[in-house]
Every structure is written in C-alpha cells, then in structure tokens.
Amino acid sequence: MSKLTPPLPKFLRPAPPRPSEKEPTPDIGEPNGKPGRADKLRESAGEGGAQVIGWLDERTGTSPFLRGFLFRKVPKGTNWFYSLGSATMFAFVSQAVTGVFLAMYYNPDATRAYESASYITNEVFAGELVRGMHKWGSTVMIVLLFLHMARTFVFGAYKYPRELNWVIGVVLLVLTLAMGLTGYLLPFDQRSYWATIVAVNLNASAPLIGPFLADFLRGGAEFSSVTITRFYALHMLLIPGLIAALIGAHLYLVAKLGTTAPPWLRAEKKELTKEEI
C-alpha cells in the first residue's frame, strides 16, 4: 500500500475480494429477451452447484489434482488388460463393504459362529446374497489379482522404475491370501475347522519359527475359544488395515510413475528407430 497518503484504518477499508467472489466474467451475453422461468431455474441451479464446487475447490485445491489424474496422458496401446488393477481394487472395496455389514450379525464364538452364519444365510433380508457376494467375491479378488500380476509380468511393467510397486504388489498378494486363510475359518463348519487345523499345522512345519507361528495363530498350544476371535481380528482389522494402506501406496506410485506401453508397441518403436537410420 502507498505510504504517502494516510490510508483508512484497516477495519474501515473494504475487504479485498476473495478469489471466489470476483466478478464473474460475462461469457454469457446479455439476453435480448426476458429469460424463461425454466431457463432461469436451470441456470441458477447450475450456478449453485458450480458455487459449491468452487467453494470446495478453493479450499482443497483438488481440481488441478483431479485434472492431472483424470486427463493424464496414457501410453499408446493402453487396453482392457490395464483395467485389471482397478478391477482388483473394486473387488477389495466390495469385500470391505459386504464384510462390514456381515460383521453386524456375525458372532466369533466357537459355540455361536455357525449359528450366526446360518442366521445370516437364512433369516436376515438378502443375507444369502450378501454372504454369497463376500464368499465368491474373495475368489474373484484372488483371480483378478493373479491376472493383474500376470499382466504386469508379461508386459514387463515391473521393470525400472517400477520395482518398488511390484514389491508392494507381492506383499498385497500375500496379505490377500492371508485374508482367504483367516476368512475360511469363520463359518465354523466341519470344512472350515479341519481346513484351519491343517493350515495352522502347515505353518507349524517351518523349522525354528514354525511352532511359534502356529501358537500365534491359535492363540495358544491348542485350538481354543481364543483361536476364532483371533482369526476374526486378523481378518477384519489387522490385515485389511495393512491392505488398505498398501493399496494407497500402490496407487500413489502408479499415479506418480504412470503406466507402461505394451511390449509390442515398444518393439515397434525400436524397429522404427532402426528404420530411421
């Protein structure tokens, strides 16, 4: 501000306009007739929505990020195989949502678990559907995960500078399989029970750490009332928390490093270079 003329005290000066309050640039010409009522409504509704979005955008600065993310350049040759990663994530989200709702009825007690699972299936509205989605969705997720991994491997998308993302993906694979293992016990029928016994004893067969690993999973030396709550806690809290965090890191790296072109296009490019010579 000028220091020559004594200015008004600050509280008397008009506030500088906030960015959102600037005069709207009149890109819509003055209407030459009275606007129709419907038009006016539509316009003000649109403006209201734009104002809300503008208000949010001004405070969060998401629009440059969103523009960069949604309209980013992708390599030539990007095809349907590139959607396998998103599909896997969608499967995870579906598992998370159905899982939260199943937890509202499920009871991780050795004497009540089977009963509550059958209550979900037979009594609750849409229970069979939701439990089925969770059960078959787990298989779908693992199939999609392996397909996504195969795509990455075959297209060579694990190479520099994407090694770290491959490593994170492998950890996600292991965690997803651990979800399958811990979830298998929860219906607590004969199949669940014996499959878990066998799986825990497989863990016990590792030299040196095996017995400790099995004891950790069982919560003691024998399969007891603690085992099923422990599997439930791993299935609901520990492993999904880790998976969600690692999916975040995985996506961050994908957004940062971009995707690769399919190998056949890279080969074409190489040949083009040779022909140019």
Partner 1 sequence: MAENRSDKNRKPRYTADRGMPGAFEGETVTRRGFMTGGALAAGGIASAAFALPALGFALAPMFTDGTVDRWQDVGPESDFNPTAYVPKVINTDPGVGEAGKATIYVRKFDPESDKPSPSDGGSDPIPYVVLSTRCVHLGCPVRYYQAPKRFVCPCHGGIYDFQGKVDGGPPVRPLDRFEARVTNGRVEVGERFSVNSELRRFSPRDPSNHLDGLWQYLYPARPST
The residues of the shown chain that bind partner 1, judged by CB under 8 A, are 28-29, 31-33, 35-36, 39, 90, 94, 97-98, 101, 104, 110-111, 124-127, 129-130, 133, 188, 193-194, 197-198, 200-202, 204-205, 207-208, 210-212, 214-216, 218-226, 228
Residue 55 CA to residue 48 CA, distance in Å, equals 10
Asked if 233 interacts with a second copy (CB under 8 A), we say: yes
Which lies closer to a second copy via its Cβ, residue 18 or residue 73?
18
Task: Sort residue 208 into left (φ over 0), alpha (ψ -120 to 50) or beta.
Answer: left
> ∠ CA(95), CA(256), CA(177), 5° rounding?
30
Least distance between partner 1 and beta carbon 257 (Å):
24
Residue 244 CA to residue 236 CA, distance in Å, equals 12
Residue 150 CA to residue 116 CA, distance in Å, equals 38
Site residues (CB under 8 A) for a second copy, limited to 42-71? 56, 58-61
Binding mask 139-178 for a second copy (x = CB under 8 A): ---------------------xxxxxx-------------
First to last CA, the chain: 63
121 binds, among a second copy, partner 1, none (CB under 5 to 8 A by kind): none
CA dihedral 122, 92, 217, 227 (to 10 degrees): -20
171 binds, among a second copy, partner 1, none (CB under 5 to 8 A by kind): none
Our measurement of the distance from residue 113's CA atom to the centroid of its chain's CA atoms, rounded to an integer in Å, reads 29
Among 103, 150, 154, 174, binds a second copy (CB under 8 A): 103
Q: Are 166 and 249 in contact (CB under 8 A)?
A: no
SS3 state of residue 7: coil
Written as six digits, the tokens of 222 are: 């024998």
Q: Considering CB under 8 A, how many residues would be counted as binding a second copy?
A: 51
Contacting positions for a second copy (CB under 8 A): 3, 6-7, 9-10, 18, 56, 58-61, 96, 99-101, 103-109, 112, 116, 160-165, 219, 225-226, 229-230, 232-234, 236-238, 241, 252-253, 256-257, 270, 273-274, 276-277
